Amino acid sequence: MEYIPDDTLLKFYPNTLQYVRKTCNLDQPGSMDEAIDTLESWLQKQQHFTKKDYSRDYLERAIVRAGGFVEHAKKYLDNLCTTRTLLPRFFANYDFASPHLVDNRNIFLPNLTKDYYRVYLVQNHIQEYNPEMYDAYYKRLSYVSISIYIICTSN
C-alpha cells in the first residue's frame, strides 16, 4: 500500500502510513515489500490453508498488527485460519439487531489521537451476561473490524 485512500468517515493524518511503518521498523524503501513477499511465499506453502490469496494490503496490515515481525504475522494468520475452521459460527453472517446486544452501543471516533490511535467507545447497559451475549459481541467486533478494513482499503 502506497497511501491511505481518503475517506469521509475515518480521518487519517497525511503521514499516518509512514509513521506506522516506522514504528514497525519497516520504513526503509522496499522493506515492507520484502516482508510481504516473505509472507506470501509462506502462505503458498501451507497445505492446510483453504484460502491463500490474501491481498497485499491485508498482509501488510497483518505484519503491522504483528509489530513488524513476519513470524508473528504467520502465527496470526495460522490462528485465524484455524479458528475459522474450528469455530465457523464466529465467521457466519451477523445480525446487528441482535437481541443480545440491544443495550450495548459502540462507535469508532473519526479522528486519530495525536499518538496515531483510534478511539473505540462502548456504552454498555447490559444487566445480565450469558454465553449468547459474548458470542454476539465477538461477532459484532469482528464485523466492525472487517468494515473498518473495507473502508480503509476502498477507493
Rounded to 5 degrees, φ, ψ at 122 are -130, 130
Residue 73's Cβ-count burial label (10 Å; 0-12, 13-18, 19+) is buried
48-52, 126-130, 148-152: least confidently modelled range: 148-152
Q: Using 50, 70 and 90 to split pLDDT, how confident is the model at 35?
A: very high
What's the confidence (pLDDT) of residue 147?
59
Answer yes or no: is pLDDT of 145 > 90.
no
In the numeric block, the cell 456504552 is attached to 123
- pLDDT tens-place string over residues 83-132: 888 888 777 776 667 776 777 777 888 999 999 888 888 887 877 778 87
H helical segments located in the chain: 16-23, 31-44, 56-65, 70-86, 131-153
Residues in the chain: 155
Answer yes or no: is pLDDT of 41 > 90.
yes
Mean pLDDT of 136-145: 74
